[in-house]
Structure 1
Amino acid sequence: MDAPRKLLVDTLARRPDLDLKNLSLAIGRNHAYLQQYLMRGSPRELPEAVRHGLAPLLGVSPDDLRSTAAPTGGGPGGDARGSALRDDRADLPVYASAEGGGGALIITNEPIDYVRRPEPLLSVRDSYGCYVIGESMSPAYEQGDLLLIHPSRPVRPGDDCVFVRDPGDGSQHALVKRLLRITPEKWRVRQFHPAKDFDLDRGQWQKAQLIVGKYAR
Structure 2
Amino acid sequence: MRKIHLMNEASRDATIVIDTVKAESGPTMGLPGKKINFRRYLAATDTGLHEALVAAHGEEYAQALIDGDPEIDVEQVGKYLTDTTPVFLSASGEVLHVSPHLVDVIFGPDGSERERKEASNIPGNVNDETPVRWTGRKLPRGQAITRFSFRRTIAVKHVDGLTYDFLYAMAQSLAEEDAMVMLGGGAKGKEPLIFQENGTPYRGFLEGRVDGPRYKLLLHLSNLELRVPDAAAS
TM-score by length of 2: 0.20
Structure with more contact order per residue of length (Cα contacts < 8 Å, sep ≥ 6):
2
| Larger Cα-atom Rg | 2
Larger helix proportion of the pair = 1
